[in-house]
Amino acid sequence: MRVDLVVLGGGPGGYSAALRASQLGMKVALVERKRVGGVCLNEGCIPTKALLHSAHAARLLREGKKLGIEVEGEARINWERVQEHVKGAVEKLVGGVEYLLQKSGVEVITGEGKLRGDGKIEVAGEVIDSRWVILATGSRPAELKTLPFGGRVLTSSQLMFAEKPPQSLIVIGAGAIGLELATAFSSFGAEVKVVEALATPLGGMDRDMAALLIRALKEKGIQIFTSSFVEEGEQGKEGIRLWLRDGRELEGELALVAVGRKPNSEIFQGLLELDERGFVRTFGDFRTSMEGVFAIGDLAGPPLLAHKAHHQGVALVEKLGGLSTGQLGPIPMAVFTEPEFALVGLSEEQAKKSGIKYKKAKFPMGANGRAVGIGQETGAVKILADEDGRLLGVQILGPGASEIIAEASLAMREGLKARQLAEAVHVHPTVSEALMEAAMALEKKAIHIINR
């Protein structure tokens, strides 16, 4: 088979690259060992958010009296229907991608792809000859030596698709995956404990913002143990017991290990240059150490985000097609806890370490009309800017943070100043006004707080 481009891996980075290449008139083959959509659509981003939506509904019903809604009896979790909702979302979106690939003329090959020493991809003995190769094989959950997967120790996908929800859960790792599933299962009524080795959850989150998030999670009944390490664990018929380094003992029905992810790069060992963590090393414009072979997404290093992989895939293909430089702007991230957290650019701690002179401002959600109206007042918007007022970083903790951060991301990409963000008219009442007022507070012009 002869094509212009072969893509190895059908996740968000891989299938986006394949679709954009087809739009540009390239003949494309996409090799995927399972089903297109990758971890994101099949096991990660999409099913997690669908699960969180059901969990949010459960919490609203349980707390409805505060809002004047009284339901006779107690809300019951129908786990089978929850799973139908989650799997239905997955099926609809994966099916949609399959349809798009088919209609776009992308040749989808199901099987284990292998990179050869001559830069060609081989599948089941058949060699695919191509001008370019894009590697997008993604990542998988990292394992703890002291608590290997198996039995009552689960990965995130195993927990999401479990036969029944646990009554109690220990989450090891307070990153995005750990905190999102802690939020979900707490909302379903489980007793949840979170163990985190670092002093704060979510790498890159400022300590003052982290304190607000921890407070919000504790208010929902989630116990959080920071600066804690799991020394060993013991599984039994009824549950699992963990011992922490400080001597504390935790018990739960199940344990979720969410301590990060590792790249699926073993198949490239000896063929491509890898870094000390196992990521494929790239050299500008996503080039690897092999001529004509490129790497994107989780395989090429952090941040391990589906939207980063998507944009890299599109940017790379447009670069190959002579349309752009392949450069990306600042990459935002979001965590779908309650409240949500999102950030883009530098944190205050990163700015300090880099020796960057900055000014900062923070606007509390408790002063935002929309947040107060929906009863989600815990949180804030924090902005960093340089001495000229140009945006350096934004952190948002509050309802809809994952949507609002795109405005900050665009502003940073275009090199805007906080003043310009403040001057943009924002609809009232919306949570997005908190971003506007934080920008105003940077110049001591905020209306709904005392400027200090």
Distances (CA, A) of 452 to 130, 285, 311, 387, 418: 61, 44, 39, 17, 17
- DSSP codes, 396-410: EEETTHHHHHHHHHH
List the one residue out of 135, 116, 102 whose CA is nearest residue 31: 135
State the catalytic residue, choosing from 53, 56, 428, 448: 428
Nearest-angstrom CA–CA distance, 175 and 335:
9
d(CA 176, CA 111): 31
CA atoms of 215 and 379, how far apart (whole Å): 10
- The neighbour count for residue 231, using CB atoms within 10 Å, is 13
What does 365-380 look like in DSSP terms, one character per residue?
GGG-HHHHHTT----E
Token pair, residue 173, equals: 């790792």
The answer to whether the beta carbons of residues 202 and 177 sit under 8 Å apart is no
Task: Answer for the pair 299, 264: CB distance below 8 angstroms, yes or no.
Answer: yes
Active site residue 428: yes
- The pairs formed by 404-408 with CB atoms below 8 angstroms and a separation of 24 or more are 404/342, 404/431, 404/432, 404/434, 404/435, 405/332, 405/334, 405/342, 405/343, 405/344, 406/332, 407/432, 407/435, 408/332, 408/344, 408/345, 408/435
Q: Which two tokens stand for residue 351?
A: 């700015």
For 32, residues 6+ apart whose C-beta sits below 8 A from its C-beta are 9, 10, 14, 108, 109, 110
All residues at 6 or more sequence positions from 80 whose CB lies less than 8 Å from its CB, including other chains: none
User: Where do runs of H (alpha helix) occur along 188-332?
Assistant: 207-219, 306-320
What does DSSP assign to residue 9?
Answer: -
Virtual CA dihedral for 284, 285, 286, 287, nearest 10 degrees? Answer: -70
Query: How far is Cα 336 from Cα 338, in angstroms, rounded to an integer?
Result: 7
Query: Nearest CA to 140 among 43, 218, 221?
Result: 43
- Residue 212 near residue 362, CB atoms below 8 Å: no
CA distance 222 to 241: 18
Catalytic site positions: 428
